[in-house]
Amino acid sequence: MKIKFKLPILSVHFLVLFYFTISCSNSTPSSPQNQNPSVEKEEKTSSDILINPSNLKAQAIKIEPLINHKINSLVHAVGTLAVPPENQEEVSVYLEGNLSEIHLLPGTKVNKGDILFWVSGPAYIEIQEAYLQSKETLGIIKENFERIKSLHDDSLVSEKEFNSQRAAYKIENARFQGLQKKLVLLDINFDQLTAETIKTKLPIRAHQSGFITSIRATKGAFLKPADVVLTLTNTKELHLEIKIFEEDYSKVAVNQEIQFWMQSDTENKYTGKVHLINKQLDDNDRTIEIHGDIVDKNIREMLAPGMYIECDIITNSVEVPSLPSEAIVTINEHHYALKKIAENQFKKVEVQLGKRSPKYIEILNASEFDSGAQFITNGAFQFISE
């Protein structure tokens, strides 16, 4: 007799479920890369750079868009500071004599009319004597001439005698006027000059304000009119004397702006303006001289004639899409910047460079980037490597 067993339906279902569970547990689970190998490549490429937010903050990294910045076309040149010839005076004496007193030193500031030094000598006394003699002689001749003229008008003297007296008067009057003007040059008041007031020592005064830049004589020295005692320089008309090469001649024009600085002080820059352009080429070094005005009048007393300068003459200005120079990194003659593509994620992109200013560089391929594209604008070199 056979006995048949019948499994409940619930048990069969349980066995099937158990078998499926074991089969799944024995299979190798697939990794996320195996599931979708293209996802990581789309989000991050070899030119992408992730930067920790704390690094951005700690190093004060700036993220800014391309901006239209004024880029100047420049002509670089060198030159010196100078004054016009009329503002530099070599002071000498009018007559032979001795340098009696001098109390100045190079660098002393003087005003127009100040006494520079004193001179003395026989020639200065003699000219005062000659003036007083001529004054007396002219008085006598004038009186006699007026008497002869009156007689001549009445036809009581001959024409020859009248002409002789008139000539004598004119000659002495001319001598008197000449001596009078010489006394003015010697700073002598001829109206107050008498035999008792003849001066033995005379002052030489400054004809303009300025600074004593050199002294070439000492007290007691014998001076001739050709001898230079000192040099007086008026720095109020201090200007730039710049030399440019002939190939830059056509680029430079009057009234263009000049940025200049001392060769010994490159940090401080000053503004000037092209005033004159010489038309004569120097055959020796093929340069042309440019004269420039200093715009800031207050700095002139800080400067001195003869100082060497460097300068940039701004010949043209245009506004172009630009990045700061610190945003550009050059590798193997290629130029790169870091463009933001997501939060804390940047992409190394190649840029083409154009005109430059001291702080900005024109980006020639700016049209390849979105209008709102942003870039790291300082310290990009820290995050870009070959």
Domain of 257, CATH number, reads 2.40.30.170
Residue 31 forms part of a structural domain: no
pLDDT surpasses 80 at 358: no
pLDDT surpasses 80 at 46: no
Claim to verify: residue 154 and residue 143 sit in the same structural domain: yes
Element (H, E) at 122: helix 122-153
In the chain, % of residues over pLDDT 70: 87
Average pLDDT on 208-224 reads: 94
Mean pLDDT, the chain, rounded, equals 85
Claim to verify: residue 95 and residue 193 sit in the same structural domain: no
**In contact, 116 and 230? CB cutoff 8 Å:** yes
More confident of the two residues 54 and 100: 100
Summarised one tens digit per residue, pLDDT across range 317-346 is 888 999 998 899 998 889 999 998 888 888
DSSP state of 359: S
Q: How far apart are CA 122 and CA 95, in angstroms?
A: 9
Claim to verify: residue 312 and residue 244 sit in the same structural domain: yes
Residue 39 forms part of a structural domain: no
Claim to verify: residue 181 and residue 297 sit in the same structural domain: no
Query: Which pLDDT value is given to residue 385?
Result: 64
Worst-scoring range by mean pLDDT, 154-168, 194-208, 216-230?
Answer: 154-168
Residue 23 forms part of a structural domain: no
Claim to verify: residue 184 and residue 115 sit in the same structural domain: no
Q: How far apart are CA 244 and CA 292, in angstroms?
A: 12
Average pLDDT on 124-153 reads: 93
- 101: domain CATH number is 2.40.50.100
Summarised one tens digit per residue, pLDDT across range 74-120 is 899 999 999 998 899 999 999 999 999 999 999 999 999 999 999 99
Claim to verify: residue 341 and residue 366 sit in the same structural domain: yes
Claim to verify: residue 306 and residue 323 sit in the same structural domain: no
pLDDT surpasses 80 at 42: no
More confident of the two residues 46 and 210: 210
Domain final residue pick, 317, 335, 361: 317
Q: How far apart are CA 366 and CA 321, in angstroms?
A: 7
Q: How far apart are CA 184 and CA 190, in angstroms?
A: 8
Residue 43 forms part of a structural domain: no
Residue 295 forms part of a structural domain: yes
pLDDT surpasses 80 at 39: no
Query: Which amino acid would we find at residue 131?
Result: Y
Domain final residue pick, 143, 174, 197: 197
In the chain, % of residues over pLDDT 90: 57
Query: Which pLDDT value is given to residue 345?
Result: 84
Assign 379 a pLDDT band (cuts: 50, 70, 90): confident
Query: Which pLDDT value is given to residue 273?
Result: 96
- Which structural domain, as residue segments, surrounds residue 210? 88-120+200-234
Residue 132 forms part of a structural domain: yes
The pTM for the full model equals: 0.61
Domain final residue pick, 297, 317, 337: 317
What's the structural domain count of the chain?
4
Assign 37 a pLDDT band (cuts: 50, 70, 90): very low
Q: How far apart are CA 314 and CA 360, in angstroms?
A: 15
Worst-scoring range by mean pLDDT, 160-164, 218-222, 303-307, 379-383?
Answer: 379-383
Residue 285, classed as helix, strand or coil, is: coil
Q: How far apart are CA 176 and CA 359, in angstroms?
A: 71
- Residue 10 Cα distances to 6, 15, 24, angstroms: 12, 9, 22
Query: Which amino acid would we find at residue 268?
Result: N
Average pLDDT on 269-298 reads: 92
- 132: domain CATH number is 1.10.287
More confident of the two residues 36 and 360: 360
Claim to verify: residue 116 and residue 205 sit in the same structural domain: yes
Token pair belonging to 140: 């006598």
Claim to verify: residue 115 and residue 209 sit in the same structural domain: yes
- 340: domain CATH number is 2.40.420.20
Claim to verify: residue 114 and residue 211 sit in the same structural domain: yes
Claim to verify: residue 191 and residue 133 sit in the same structural domain: yes
Claim to verify: residue 110 and residue 222 sit in the same structural domain: yes
Residue 286 forms part of a structural domain: yes
Summarised one tens digit per residue, pLDDT across range 218-243 is 999 999 999 999 999 998 889 999 99
- 122-153 helix and 159-185 helix, angle to the nearest 10 degrees: 150
Residue 217 forms part of a structural domain: yes
